[in-house]
Amino acid sequence: MKIAMVGSGYVGLVSGACFADFGHEVVCIDKDEAKVARLRDGVMPIYEPGLAELVESNARAGRLSFTTSLAEGIAGAGAIFIAVGTPSRRGDGHADLSFVHAVAEEIGAALTNDCVVVTKSTVPVGTGDEVERIIADSGCTHRVAVVSNPEFLREGAAIGDFKRPDRIVIGAEDEFAREVMREVYRPLFLNESPILFTGRRTSELIKYAANAFLATKITFINEMADLCEKVGADVQDVARGIGMDNRIGKKFLHAGPGYGGSCFPKDTLALLKTAEDYDSPTRIVEAVVKVNESRKRAMGRKVIDALGGAEAARGKRVALLGLTFKPNTDDMRDSPAIAIAQALSDAGIAIAAYDPEGMELARPMLPQVEMCDDPYQAIEGADAIAIVTEWDAFRALDLDRVKSLANAAVMVDLRNIYRPEDMQRQGFRYTSIGRG
Positions marked catalytic: 263
Nearest Cα residue to 138 out of 117, 168, 162, 169: 117
User: What number of helices (H) and strands (E) belong to the chain?
Assistant: 19, 14
Contact of 116 with 143, CB cutoff 8 Å: no
By CB atoms closer than 10 A (0-12, 13-18, 19+), residue 400 is exposed
Nearest Cα residue to 364 out of 393, 384, 338: 338
- Altogether, the residues listed in the chain come to a count of 436
- How would you list the strands of the sheet with 429-431, edge to edge? 369-371, 350-354, 317-321, 384-387, 410-413, 429-431
DSSP codes, 87-122: PBPTTT--B--HHHHHHHHHHHHH--S-EEEEE-S-
147 vs 200: CA distance, rounded Å:
6
- 6, amino acid identity: V
29 vs 420: CA distance, rounded Å:
50
Alpha helices for 278-369 (secondary structure H): 283-306, 310-313, 336-346, 359-365
SS3 at position 146: strand
By CB atoms closer than 10 A (0-12, 13-18, 19+), residue 139 is exposed
